[in-house]
Chain A
């Protein structure tokens, strides 16, 4: 098989080819490398990779399999990571000049778990600087292109992860999601992306942006890939005190069981989300078709109200910037970051190193976050946002008393043109309107590809489930996937 015939095969399909002996991990890895070398100049999804290391891991995997000692279903499958997830001995730049030369001294817990499952951890994927952005344009190392239209953004902040997968450059990728940073790029690139329940996946080794909102999650070509990847990633971790001891189930098997034996589900459409003037007609049309499909398989669609949804964006940006300004205080020029050479004394090292090391969006958010936490403004902004966060959480609790899942568009519009919004931060923030509530509430959510707007631009819808109900989420995504083939279409590259 050549690189192009393997490029878009789902990881679960590749894993079956490895298990049956029709494919070796060395062959697969070679094709992945060739494709990345061929395409990355156009897409700039990867900041870098170590090809020799990938091939060495592939050889070790093939040896294990030959000895009948495969470590798991995904043994031998390459997985590329957003460059804010720590891999021992590898650069961990977070798309920032501040960490341009930072080499991680340890593995993130998710990396340990993937290695224990025999997966080949390779490749550093581009991202908005410190995950702050919705277009992968704030990276210090240049922006990433959308494989469907190179003049457009792949979304962000995990734009590299989405673009690499959509372009067939790695069969599975990981991103992180603080306000939609997995789901929005998944929608823009026509693939699946899941943000787990807060606490499902350990954050140890994920560089912190907003600690009460951040979660690591997978991108995949099909629901099974996402479900099986969740089985590798999930689990309580003593190194992350916010990780939750929820039972980890065989998601991929449970969802099939739920699909064949389960009752039809009730999906809730938030009436407020469809009143929005900003909703693109193509997205609205795609949503109508999604609703029609679910009705067609006998599921019930019900209006629900999320009366505080208009407060979500300001609430999110107060909380996220406040937490970011605190988390990013560690990058001080002293211990492991960029250090300014022109500082006049020790205190000046802080000011100059941070001024030189951080880019425009990160500085903007540090200032905003510092302001909303500062004496005299804390109660009016930060505390107020935490109170409204409770109201938003209550809205969803009430909705889940009536419906099994909430169904929304993932984004108000398809992928926008690079450079178009980067000069207007408020307009960029408004792009997150549908994705931020699952972060504020800790709820799990997935973006599912559901068609195309004009100019061949992918559109996605979002499903939101109650806490720790990932199986329900995946079951509904799979029910849609069974009758639609949008996820099997790929960009012409």
Chain B
């Protein structure tokens, strides 16, 4: 059975998990990966990957500036703000 290092993966995802959550996910995701395992036996030699189902590539437009939100509407949902900027806890001591 494939093993997910839940602690390491959660760290990559910047996601705090409780001990109970880690145990729950560890068991469940092990079973789900086992189910995914069927993919590994499929012969895909000479096959190109599909990233999306759309025939479009490199959609370009004229590089013209258009009006956007001002600071007010853009910051209206910020948990904390000051002087038209998002306020966060101190990063550098």
Contacts and interface: CB of A to CB of B under 8 A. Distances in A.
A293 interface: no
Contact of A355 (B16, B29, B53): B16
A291 interface: no
Contacts of A374: 9, 12
Contacts of B91: 345-346
Contacts of B88: 334, 346, 349
Interface in B7-31: 9-10, 12-18, 21, 24-25, 28-29, 31
Contact of A391 (B32, B42, B55, B61): B42
A272 to B, nearest CB: 14
Given A314-B35, A332-B14, A367 B53 contact: no
A390 B50 contact: yes
A105 B76 contact: yes
B9 A370 contact: yes
A315 B18 CA distance: 29
* Interface size of A as a range: 35 or more
* Interface size of B as a range: 35 or more
B77 A101 contact: yes
A212 B53 contact: yes
A84 to B, nearest CB: 16
Nearest to B22: A367
Interface in A455-480: 467
B25 A364 contact: yes
Question: Which of B14, B51, B61, B77 gathers the greatest number of chain A CB atoms within 10 Å?
Answer: B14
A400 interface: no
Interface string A225-251: 000000000000010011010000000
A383 interface: yes
A325 B13 contact: yes
B23 to A, nearest CB: 13
A354 interface: yes
A15 interface: no
Contact of B25 (A329, A358, A363, A386): A363
A325 B79 CA distance: 23
A198 interface: yes
26 contacts: A198-B54, A199-B54, A238-B61, A311-B38, A313-B35, A314-B35, A317-B32, A318-B39, A329-B14, A339-B79, A345-B89, A360-B21, A366-B15, A367-B9, A367-B17, A368-B32, A370-B10, A371-B9, A384-B44, A387-B44, A387-B50, A388-B39, A388-B42, A389-B49, A425-B28, A443-B53
Q: Which 9 residue pairs spanning A and B have beta carbons closest together?
A: A442-B53, A355-B16, A386-B49, A336-B77, A339-B79, A387-B44, A212-B52, A241-B59, A351-B16
Given A348-B89, A387-B48, 8 more contacts: A105-B73, A332-B14, A334-B86, A345-B89, A367-B9, A388-B39, A391-B42, A425-B32
